């Protein structure tokens, strides 16, 4: 058994465990990481320990250490210095900070039907020109008056992966900035946050953490952003900035931090450590191989998924209505825009793929 398989088996219950004796319930097959990832055993332990620390009234210093350890670990995954990583609660909040920085009349280019958190703040401004095009055309659609391109690295609804190198090249040629949401990619798709002005990602999908955290990367010069949501944790000396206005913002991206959900980071720290131990390249190879196995099986059944080569997410038009039936059978997938969406991650195996195909064939 190789190191990858050993670590995964240590950290997770089997992806399709047998039902408890006498329960009468089905075995479970979890293929829904695009909604939320499973928590590793080490993460569950860390959450329990954090809760005990609070319940017993002990000093919270270790929880604040977890926050900074998560910042550093995510920075390594993203390929940027930790000083360029801010910590918040949601992608929508990070998008709002970017939207607030744009001048009236600026054009924002987006992908049609991208996830709402990437888009909504630009529309709510009311004085920006928001233009949506099909994902496949987004690089070609950048023009001289485009101020910002905002797009998900992998589409939530169907797993299509954006051509980020082409987008970056087109944006550079026209003087536009780029904002990439890696929420459906960070953890299985190798990242290059340094290639973009701004990126974001949530903690609870492919990064295998609890809900409540979202990462935000910014340029060294902060890209013209104003930390409009800043509180005391955004100060250069937070504990000296609890009362009155902050007189000195952090000299790093921490000036964009929002108050930290301490339990979330306590759990997220070991999740990020696990991903680093496994290596994103290995996770990518594992996840995409399972997705390709599913695509091949669908073709044999006469189903055509949404074309999304190289993605760990597979979306099948017309089968979304079967999600409740599959859930009752113990197979967890999603119904997104009428499509059946299966998302494969490190705890899944070929057995899981074949079980879903068997269920669909019936």
- pLDDT, tens digit, 9 for 90 and up, residues 149-205: 999 999 999 999 999 999 999 999 999 999 999 999 999 999 999 999 999 999 999
Whether residues 260 and 338 fall in one domain: no
**What CATH number has the domain bearing residue 230?**
3.40.640.10
Q: What is the pLDDT of residue 168?
A: 97
Whether residues 149 and 267 fall in one domain: yes
3-state secondary structure 298-336: HHHHCCCCCCCCCCCEEEEECCHHHHHHHHHCCEECEEE
Whether residues 149 and 291 fall in one domain: no
Select from 168, 179, 177 the least CA-distant residue to 114: 179
3-state secondary structure 233-275: HHECCHHHCCCCCCCCECCCHHHHCCCCCHHHHHHHHHHHHHH
Give the integer Cα–Cα distance in Å for 122 and 104.
11
Name the domain boundary from 257, 277, 297.
277
Whether residues 146 and 220 fall in one domain: yes
Whether residues 102 and 249 fall in one domain: yes
Contact 263, 51 (CB under 8 A): yes
β-sheet bridge partners, residue 86: 216
Domain count, the chain: 2
Q: What is the pLDDT of residue 23?
A: 46
Helix (H) or strand (E) holding 69: helix 61-78
- pLDDT, tens digit, 9 for 90 and up, residues 280-319: 999 999 999 999 999 999 999 999 999 999 999 999 999 9
| φ and ψ at residue 263, rounded to 5 degrees | -65, -40
Whether residues 148 and 119 fall in one domain: yes
- pLDDT, tens digit, 9 for 90 and up, residues 59-89: 999 999 999 999 999 999 999 999 999 999 9
Whether residues 95 and 192 fall in one domain: yes
Contact 60, 83 (CB under 8 A): no
Pair of tokens at residue 252: 């790093």
Q: Looking at the predicted structure, is the pLDDT value of residue 109 above 50?
A: yes
How is 148-174 classified by DSSP, letter by letter?
Answer: EEEEESB-TTT-PBP-HHHHHHHHHHH
Alpha helices in 1-40 (DSSP H): 3-11
Q: Given pLDDT bands bounded at 50, 70 and 90, which one contains residue 362?
A: confident
pLDDT mean across residues, the chain: 95
| φ and ψ at residue 110, rounded to 5 degrees | -130, 170
What mean pLDDT do residues 249-260 have? 98
Whether residues 27 and 55 fall in one domain: no
Whether residues 64 and 211 fall in one domain: yes
- pLDDT, tens digit, 9 for 90 and up, residues 155-170: 999 999 999 999 999 9
- Percent of the chain whose pLDDT exceeds 70: 96
Name the domain boundary from 215, 243, 277.
277
Name the domain boundary from 246, 277, 308.
277
Helix (H, G, I), strand (E, B) or coil at 341: strand
Contact 333, 32 (CB under 8 A): yes
**What CATH number has the domain bearing residue 305?**
3.90.1150.10
Domain carrying residue 29: 3-39+279-361
- pLDDT, tens digit, 9 for 90 and up, residues 7-35: 999 999 754 454 544 444 566 899 999 99
Residue 346 neighbours by CB distance under 10 Å:
30
Q: Given pLDDT bands bounded at 50, 70 and 90, which one contains residue 1?
A: low
Whether residues 223 and 345 fall in one domain: no
Whether residues 10 and 73 fall in one domain: no
For helices 61-78 and 41-55, angle between their N-to-C axes, nearest 10 degrees: 150
Whether residues 74 and 214 fall in one domain: yes
């Amino acid at each position: 058994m190789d190191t990858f398989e050993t670590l995964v088996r240590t950290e997770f219950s089997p992806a399709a465990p047998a039902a408890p004796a006498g329960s009468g319930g089905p075995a479970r097959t979890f293929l829904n990481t695009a909604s939320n990832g499973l928590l590793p055993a080490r993460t569950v332990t860390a959450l329990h320990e954090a809760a005990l620390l609070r319940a017993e009234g002990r000093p919270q210093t270790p929880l604040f250490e977890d926050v900074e350890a998560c910042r550093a670990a995510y920075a390594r995954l993203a390929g940027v210095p930790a000083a360029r990583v801010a910590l918040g609660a949601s992608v929508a909040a990070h998008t709002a900070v970017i939207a607030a920085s744009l001048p009236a009349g600026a054009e924002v280019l987006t992908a049609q039907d991208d996830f709402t958190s990437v888009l909504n703040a630009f529309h709510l401004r009311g004085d920006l020109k928001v233009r949506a095009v099909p994902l496949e055309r987004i690089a070609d659609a950048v023009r001289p008056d485009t101020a910002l391109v905002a797009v998900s690295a992998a589409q939530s609804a169907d797993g299509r992966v954006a051509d980020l190198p082409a987008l970056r090249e087109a944006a550079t040629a026209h003087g536009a900035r780029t904002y990439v949401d890696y929420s459906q990619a960070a953890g299985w798709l190798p990242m290059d946050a340094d290639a973009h002005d701004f990126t974001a990602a949530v903690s609870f999908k492919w990064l295998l953490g609890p809900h409540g955290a979202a990462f935000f990367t910014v340029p060294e010069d902060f890209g013209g952003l104003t930390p409009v949501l800043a509180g005391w944790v955004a100060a250069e000396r937070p504990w000296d900035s609890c009362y009155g206005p902050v007189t000195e913002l952090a000299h790093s991206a921490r000036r964009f931090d929002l108050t930290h959900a301490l339990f979330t980071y306590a759990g997220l720290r070991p999740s990020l450590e696990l991903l680093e131990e496994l290596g994103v390249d290995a996770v990518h190879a594992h996840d995409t191989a399972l997705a390709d196995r599913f695509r091949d099986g669908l073709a044999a059944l006469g189903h055509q998924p949404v074309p999304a080569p190289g993605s760990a997410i597979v979306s099948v038009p017309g089968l979304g209505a079967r999600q409740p039936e599959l859930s009752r059978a113990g197979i967890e997938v999603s119904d997104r825009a009428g499509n059946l969406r299966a998302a494969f991650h490190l705890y899944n195996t070929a057995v899981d793929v074949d079980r879903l195909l068997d269920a669909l064939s019936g």
